[in-house]
Amino acid sequence: MKLLNSVFAMMALTAVSVWAGPEAMKNLQRPQAGLSAELTFGGQGGREFMLDGKPFQIRSGEIHPQRVPRTHWRHRIRTAKAMGLNTIAFYVFWNALEQKDGSWDFSGRNDIAAFIDMCAEEGMWVLFRPGPFVCGEWDLGGLPAYLIKDDVTPLRYTGNAQFMQAQARYLEKMAEIAVPRLCKNGGPILMVQLENEYGSYKTEHDEMAYIEWLKDFWTNKGAGPFYLSEGSQNHHLRFVPRGVAVGLDPADNAWQMNNALRIAPGVPVFSSETYPGWLRHWGEGNWTPSRNTLNSVRWYMRDGVSFNLFVYHGGTSFGLAAGANSNGDGSGFQPDLTSYDYGAPVGENGNLTKEYFEYRDIIKAALPKDAALIEPEHPVSMEIPAFRPTHVADFHGLAVVAEPQCFDTPPTLESLGQNQGIGIYSAVIPAGPAAALSCRVHDYALVYVGDKFIGALDRRLGQAGLQLPARDEASVLKIVVDTFGHVNFGSYIEKDRKGVIGKVMLGGTELRDWYVRRMPLASVPEQVRKTGHARYRERGALYRAEIKLENAPQDTFLDMNGWQKGYVWVNGHLLGRYWHIGPQERLYCPGEFLKQGNNVIEILDLHMVTDNPPQISGKKQRNMEVTKQTKSLNNQWD
């Protein structure tokens, strides 16, 4: 058996060796304004990328403009160019573009057209990845939450008319941006990715018809060629249409490449997601680079294999954008950090890591002598002296959306038109002895009887109930539910809802007649009244600080060490979540969120009750200490 495996491995390596090899790296063609170019599939068996008739190696780095301050886009693109890459790949996050009222926001970090144009200006090609589903450790994989207003909704499925109509509206917007910028039309876009890892979806309604619909949509718009990103096993590749290139997530060895060629002959196969690091969840270890990926890049550069470093630069999932993972049944919930550093060669604030220069050396050594690389620039950051916010209002004294709404049973936040944020669920419970409360919350909750804090429920830990004390009289049960992002990978995206989920039981009795108040957190909760701690024992408070910057602001990291769990706004911009369980203790604050002069920092902490909270300071770097090892799965969980 070992001999057979060795022979098969040698055959696989031989198959790879007859690909374009060094010839592909000699094609140094870059996009030029107004000049069209043509990417085709050719060479032996049609498995090489050809640019204007010559073998071409795609050397790509993934950068999500919606995760990067717009003022830093050009720096990140130029560092990719300086590494020896020739292409930028990026996801588009639909739910950041379409607003609740049906309008579209293409301003700021959402200006996808401007990002593509900037890539062209810097002589970089583009792999356009519009989804509509993208995963990307982003809330609901980029899909809008209004699609899951009902309890269970089939997604990525031609049988769901609402989804297909919404998807068509979105893709029309994408086509308006992408088609004029295709390389054949004088732009930098080499290929459009049709969908993302559909072979890993694993629902009862998976269908080739859905992928074919997407292919027909883009073909009718005049786009092409196309590719799909999929895992490398046979079941991942069952939805690849004829004539569509195959991107493997990842391609770590020749067997994976040749297996894909066997299943999808006549098209190029490349590594559409090669992982220099890996994502991180709350409670795990810190970001760490993957040393094995350096060897993968050596192989790519030796044989002319095309690749995309996912991610080359991760950036930040600002606001409520971070997603989550879970098992197929919703268990094993793992919410993602606000940071999307990823252990990437270019760090969260654009810092160039040791690995960046190692990748650069490998690529540079394999390129022709006339592929002169520009020198990369290091980013600039600043420190902010320590300051102590002041108490503004206890949690119970903050405004919420409208008046409480009454329901027979607890509704999900999505059914109320809210994506994430906080939901406050209240019901009257009778006098009685101590009893078990059975309550499933998504995703974290503080439970009170009257004004007495009883305990917390954490979905990550599988907690779905606690013991309530005896009551001498009828009391108000209050469940303050704080959410994380929706699951962004696998079939459970269709079922993940936020708030109190299903029946709430006290002893053997179902609790009914619920009042629900909502706090979306799109902006800072408004203060209604301030009540002293002597009257209330509820946890949580809003804090505020004003700091003055004498000089033009630069990037910084707000150090939340000592705080518990909550949210931070800077001049109205929601940086994201913090949580004392780590590993992230510092929140990236771009200089463009700050201003010379007075700046307002506001913090909503769900546990803090003190009038003397910890100080906060601005640091030049994020915290990177590794106190707990977390393995890079490299997509092995699928």
**Distance between CA atoms of residues 578 and 337, nearest Å:** 8
Q: Are strands 573-579 and 509-510 parallel, antiparallel or unpaired?
A: unpaired
- Of the residues 273, 348, 355, 538, only one is catalytic, namely 273
Q: Are strands 189-196 and 226-230 parallel, antiparallel or unpaired?
A: parallel
Longest Cα–Cα distance of the chain, Å, equals 84
The position carrying tokens 């196969």 is 269
Is 273 among the residues known to form the active site?
yes
**Distance between CA atoms of residues 564 and 111, nearest Å:** 35
The answer to whether the CB of 473 falls within 8 A of the CB of 431 is yes
**Distance between CA atoms of residues 390 and 581, nearest Å:** 24
**Distance between CA atoms of residues 104 and 410, nearest Å:** 32
- Of the residues 197, 348, 414, 538, only one is catalytic, namely 197
Q: What is the DSSP letter of 381?
A: B
DSSP string, 495-522: T---EEEEEEEETTEE---EEEEEE--S
The position carrying tokens 């810097």 is 122
**Distance between CA atoms of residues 250 and 237, nearest Å:** 13
**Distance between CA atoms of residues 539 and 525, nearest Å:** 16
Report the candidate in 249, 270, 229 with the shortest Cα–Cα distance to residue 638.
249
Distance of CA 260 to the CA centre of its chain: 27
- Beta-strand ranges (E) seen in 212-256 are 226-230, 245-248
| Contacting residues for 176 by C-beta, under 8 A, at least 6 apart | none
φ, ψ for residue 248, nearest 5 deg: -100, 140
Instruction: Assign residue 392 a region (left: φ > 0; alpha: ψ between -120 and 50; beta: otherwise).
Output: alpha
| Contacting residues for 532 by C-beta, under 8 A, at least 6 apart | none
**Distance between CA atoms of residues 606 and 588, nearest Å:** 20
Report the candidate in 238, 200, 229 with the shortest Cα–Cα distance to residue 306.
229
Instruction: Assign residue 72 a region (left: φ > 0; alpha: ψ between -120 and 50; beta: otherwise).
Output: alpha
| Contacting residues for 633 by C-beta, under 8 A, at least 6 apart | 278
Which long-range contacts link 579-582 to residues 24+ away (Cβ below 8 Å)?
Answer: 579/282, 581/282, 581/283, 582/282, 582/283, 582/286, 582/627
Q: What is the DSSP letter of 147?
A: G
Question: Is the bond into 469 cis (omega within 30 degrees of 0)?
Answer: no
Six-digit token pair at 284?
Answer: 């795990």
Please report the sign of the dihedral spanned by the C-alpha atoms of residue 124, residue 126, residue 127, residue 131: positive
What burial class does residue 24 get, using C-beta atoms within 10 Å of its C-beta: 0-12 exposed, 13-18 middle, 19+ buried? buried
Is 207 among the residues known to form the active site?
no
Give the residue numbers annotated as catalytic, written as ranges: 197, 273
